[in-house]
Amino acid sequence: MADLNKLLTPLFLNENEIRKIIELMFFSYRDFTSGPDKILEKIKFGRAHHRVIYFVGKRNNLTIKELLSILQITKQSLSRVLNQLVKEKYIILSTGEDKRTKKLILSNKGRDLEKKLSQIQITKIYNVIKNFDEIDINGFKKVLFNMIDENNRKKFNEIN
């Protein structure tokens, strides 16, 4: 187990302390995504597939334009992943009010996968944060929120 005194030293914004935060974020994210990664690997999907499934599942009839705005990837990058998800019947693609708008919803198969992947991450977060009080958790969320660029905070607020 890590020496908590090494992690909890006062933050004087020196480079070594900021590097510790970078490393904490790296190891946390790696371990946070490892459970879903194993499931995705078995069906020959990656994290990009997971992100698409997650956000399409968050809001029915999400447009491709809205998804591109959330993920901040190119149409070409999304196209490859989305075509695979549609072909394998995880996502249903339909035409919107005007013929140019494409809307996305999860199929039953897609909802099952999204739930399976998210439940791993929900459980992981719950098992960690249940040991902290509301002030600690809100402080953690505040730091994460403020790491998001201002324009992207607006997008976060829109989808939440």
What's this model's pTM, rounded to 2 decimal places?
0.87
Specify the pLDDT at position 60: 84
Kindly tell me if the per-residue pLDDT of 5 is higher than 90: no
CATH number of 10-129: 1.10.10.10
Kindly tell me if the per-residue pLDDT of 101 is higher than 80: yes
User: How far is residue 100's CA from residue 94's CA, in Å, rounded to a whole number?
Assistant: 10
Task: Of 58, 99, 65, 97, give the one whose Cα is nearest residue 82.
Answer: 65
Q: Read off the tokens for 116.
A: 């399976």
